Amino acid sequence: MEPITEALSITFLSTLSIAAMFLVMWGLMALLLKIHPSTEVSQEPETSEQADETSAMVAAAMVAIHLHKKNTDDELLNAGLPPVLVSAWQLGMRTRQMTQKSNFMNRK
């Protein structure tokens, strides 16, 4: 058997096996949905009151997360922990990257 024929047959068999596995997975998902159907989602459109309430809840959650993060950052600063230092290796790599970018941008 020639190498090109062997390569094509291996490629064809690999593609066929992948397609077969997709079909098996599709069948398994269909079987799982028949065994355990998903709950129905309401198809009613959201009213403006519900949208306002949802927006208010999202805004409140964002404020709570921001305040928690700020308090956590303040606690770390007040704990007297030393600041995180950049290692010499990181500094060298960053400098090299910035030099390469600047050389690329300044080409004419």
pLDDT in tens for each of the 108 residues of the chain?
799 999 999 999 999 999 999 999 999 999 998 898 776 656 666 677 777 888 888 999 999 888 888 777 676 666 665 666 778 888 899 899 888 888 777 766
Structural domain includes residue 28: yes
pTM of the predicted structure, to 2 decimals? 0.35
- Examine residue 32 and state whether it is found in any structural domain, yes or no: yes
Is residue 74 assigned to a domain? Answer: no
Q: Provide the sign of the torsion angle of the four alpha carbons 7, 13, 17, 22, taken in this order.
A: positive
The pLDDT of residue 2 is 92
Does residue 67 lie within any of the structural domains? no
Question: Residue 64 is which amino acid?
Answer: A
Q: Is residue 31 assigned to a domain? A: yes
The verdict on residue 73 lying in a domain is no
Can you give the residue range of the structural domain that contains 18?
9-36
As for how many domains the chain has, the answer is: 1
